[in-house]
Amino acid sequence: MKRKIFVVDDHAVTRKGYVFLINEEPDLEVCGEAASALEALDKIPGAAPELVITDVTMEGLSGLELVKHLQQQHPDLPVLIISMHDEALYADRALRAGARGYLMKNEAGPKVVDAVRRILRGGRYVSEAMSDRILAQFSGQTPKGEGSPVEQLSDRELEVFEHLGRGLKTSEIAEAMLISPNTVESYRARIKEKLGLKEANELLRYAMQYAQRQGLA
């Protein structure tokens, strides 16, 4: 019997690529797909998947928020995150949220199937570099590059920060994240404090530089 996979990504071409890869395997099949986290939460109970693949950045709830919701509603359902975001910043967040694996899109390809199979066997999947980083943290060593101010941000603060880097206004961020403009402003204030910034234009400049480095802008 084939193992059932549910795919979530707001880019149709990317989503169809995963569907093709998985359906080519004799022991795997895609049982459903969604373009947003909210759509996924609506469809997953009926599709009854054995694993969910999701992106991080999507309209409305992010992939990390989707993982957290699935942990509450379907605690035994494993999730693999495949994202363009730097794993040094996001893989640890994903695993802490409850994901069973993290794979960057620029190295995905056939590794998607390898990751899916490992997780379905009860394992976890991260890159070799990320595995070394996690082991270093566990042993009390400080990995090279540790300590970026952005790492201090919470998941939702980081999401707001990235939206700022893409040039979104407060009202647009509120709409994208399904929160109020006042909540966005509260996040902005906390982000400025954590990053040691005093002015709004400093925050915007910092966010845009970050987004460019991450390939988000």
Provide CATH code, domain 3-138. 3.40.50.2300
Tell me, what's the pLDDT at 139? 62
- DSSP strand pairing (79-83 vs 51-54): parallel
Distance CA 199, CA 176 (A): 24
Domains 3-138 and 149-213 fall in the same CATH topology: no
To 5 degrees, how large is the angle CA 37–CA 125–CA 147? 85
Contacts of range 167-173, beta carbons closer than 8 Å, 24 or more positions apart: 167/208, 167/217
Find the mean pLDDT for residues 101-109: 83
Contact call for residues 69 and 41 (beta carbons, < 8 A): yes
pTM for the predicted model, two decimal places: 0.81
- 31 versus 149: the higher-pLDDT residue is 31
Residue 50 buriedness (CB in 10 A; 0-12 / 13-18 / 19+): middle
Domain 149-213 falls in which CATH fold?
Arc Repressor Mutant, subunit A (1.10.10)
Summarize pLDDT for 45-82 with one digit per residue, the tens: 999 999 999 999 888 888 999 999 999 999 999 999 99
Q: Where are the domains positioned within the chain?
A: 3-138, 149-213
Q: What is the mean pLDDT of the chain?
A: 89
